[in-house]
Amino acid sequence: MSRPEHESERDSEKPRGRPRSNLAHQAILEATRDLLTSGGYERLSIEAIAARAGVGKQTIYRRWRSKSAVVAEVVLAGYLPIHAGTPADTGDVLVDLQAWVREQVAWHTYPGAVALVRGLAAAAADSDADAGRLYDQLTGPVREGLMHRLAVGVQQSQLRADADLEAATDAIIGSLLFRVLARSDTSSVNTDSIVEIVIGGIGKRWRNPAGPPAGWAVPPDAP
Amino acid sequence: MSRPEHESERDSEKPRGRPRSNLAHQAILEATRDLLTSGGYERLSIEAIAARAGVGKQTIYRRWRSKSAVVAEVVLAGYLPIHAGTPADTGDVLVDLQAWVREQVAWHTYPGAVALVRGLAAAAADSDADAGRLYDQLTGPVREGLMHRLAVGVQQSQLRADADLEAATDAIIGSLLFRVLARSDTSSVNTDSIVEIVIGGIGKRWRNPAGPPAGWAVPPDAP
DNA sequence: CCATAACAATACGGACCGTCCCGTAAGCGA
DNA sequence: TCGCTTACGGGACGGTCCGTATTGTTATGG
């Protein structure tokens, strides 16, 4: 790169010339948020953002490479109620995660939330190379918060020490993603059941004196 | 509608005039498949389809309402190796589902498979109203096959009778979807673990004479 | 032969794209 | 204070693709 344009340029170079306007920056992100939640990703265009923000298109392109990059920043900068909070810790991992999932599901009733998630999926689809990175940025905090709570559950001996917490996390997030993307009849699947299943799958088990039924392979378990 | 244009028009109306060309129909779907697997959904356009199929644009619009509708038909007509097969039944539901998931993951290595799935997500995103229906059509067969195998597992007493099979199915499909859409480093998450967790979560449990640890809520279980 | 409708091809206005250029505004060093 | 440099709003530009309309041709049934 001859001149630092996008991304962080916190190297030893002193910025010369007129500095970038924070007001313009903020106006762009707010306009993007508004258009995204009202009209969805398909109706979102750079020109529409520029017009609503009262900004030249170049001012947008000077900062971001593409529409999906702007959307990513909107999310990362906290302009949307993405609700990436860490689950609470009341001592019961099942209850905590069920409450957390209920919060996520409740967020989906916000106006434009479903359209937003679908739009992010579309944004990732037309980034292609950036798709994985975009998802990582967007779902990373959620993943970390979830996995941290599960790790605490392991420390509290509620979950197996050898449990694959990554897989469990992906199962929960994947279920929510699938629900939002695909299932229009939102009341169909009981999200409490999903958490119950996953937590049951990585939770401690109790041995039956009579032993397991014949033909039923016992997963590895540490007492 | 004054004249039946799209969808099924198998009512009592006798078709008059020149009938629609099957060759054109087929050429459109094949061109769509090729462009979709080679260039992804973003590079797919009605004009590109028409050009590649040697067809006028009107011939496409006469049949389908939008780009996403064409894509949906391509998938539904079996022009793509979607791999919606029912899991085998060897008697061990864990082994069967792990093998099935491995097949799905293997399919993701096909050229364009990931781009295809992401494209379908994008297609659903800009259909909005049709998004749920499109997903249902696409994932419906997969869901049914998976749920059927789980139901067999219940009959074979490997799974709990009161298990929420819908939730379990969504957890598995959601994990795969999340994996394909989001996680570019495909080797990160062990898919066997996911199946193990879900099956463990709806499988039979064995009671410990000493009882569960204090503070650990026992999920309902039927002996 | 005649009515009807699908066909390929192409023209059309419109929406956005991404880049470029204008005149102006805002910092900085000399 | 004066250049130098860069960002600003605004808008022109060629380009792609949209979805529709038109034209002349072709296939089918009455």
Contact, B217 vs A200, CB < 8 A? no
| pLDDT tens-digit map of A27-54 | 999 999 999 888 888 789 999 999 999 9
* CB pair distance less than 8 Å for B164 and A190: yes
Q: A82 in helix, strand or coil?
A: coil
The first and second tokens of residue B34, run together, are 């090729």
Among A166, A59, A41, which residue's Cα sits nearest to residue A114? A41
Count helices and strands (H / E) in chain B: 9, 0
- B17 beta carbon < 7 A from strand D? yes
pLDDT band per the 50, 70, 90 thresholds, residue A183: low
Checking if the pLDDT of A218 tops 80, the result is no
Strands, DSSP E only, in A100-214? Answer: none
Chain-chain contact of A167 with B184 (C-beta, under 8 angstroms): no
CB-CB contact of B103 with B83 (8 Å): yes
**Among B216, B218, B221, which would you mutate to test the A interface (most chain A Cβ atoms within 10 Å of its Cβ)?**
B216
Q: What residues pair up with A159 in beta bridges, in sequence order?
A: A203
Which of A29, A86, A94, A37 is CA-nearest to residue A55? Answer: A29
Higher pLDDT among residues A16 and A24, named by residue:
A24
Mean pLDDT within A19-27:
96
Encode pLDDT of B57-97 as tens digits. 999 999 999 888 898 888 878 887 666 678 999 999 999 99
* Token pair of A197 as six digits: 């299943």
* B183: chain A residues, CB-CB within 8 Å: 132, 135-136, 170
- For residue A75, what are the contacts with CB-CB under 8 A and spacing of at least 6? A82, A120, A137, A138
pLDDT band at A165 (very low <50, low <70, confident <90, very high): very high
Mean pLDDT of B196-210: 67
A125 CB neighbours in chain B (<8 A) are: 40-42, 118-119, 121-122, 125
Round to whole Å and give the CA distance between A18 and A121: 36
Which residues, in sequence order, are bridge partners of residue B159?
A: B203
Spell out where chain A has E strands: none
User: Is A157 within 8 Å of A93 (Cβ atoms)?
Assistant: no
pLDDT by residue (tens digit) across B141-191?
A: 888 999 999 999 999 988 999 899 999 999 999 999 888 888 666 556 788
* Ordered domains of chain A (ranges, CATH): 22-76 (1.10.10.60), 93-202 (1.10.357.10)
In the predicted model, what is the mean pLDDT of residues A80-93? 82
Query: B71 CA, C2 C1': separation in Å?
Result: 39
Tokens 């001859």, residue?
Answer: A2
* pLDDT value of residue A201: 85
CB A49 within 8 A of CB A28: yes
Nearest-angstrom CA–CA distance, B220 and A127: 45
Mean pLDDT in residue range A155-175: 91
Mean pLDDT computed over A177-191: 76
Q: Within chain A, what is the greatest distance between any pair of CA atoms?
A: 80
Could you tell me if B123 and B65 are in contact, meaning their C-beta atoms sit under 8 angstroms apart?
no
Beta-carbon separation of A170 and B179 below 8 A: yes
Contacts of B53 (CB under 8 A, 6+ apart): B24, B27, B28, B30, B31
The band of A14, judged by pLDDT with boundaries at 50, 70 and 90, is confident
Contact between B202 and A203 (Cβ < 8 Å): no
Identify the residue whose tokens are 């905090």: A141
pLDDT of A80 above 80: no
Report how far residue B92's alpha carbon sits from residue B157's, in angstroms, rounded to the nearest whole number. 11
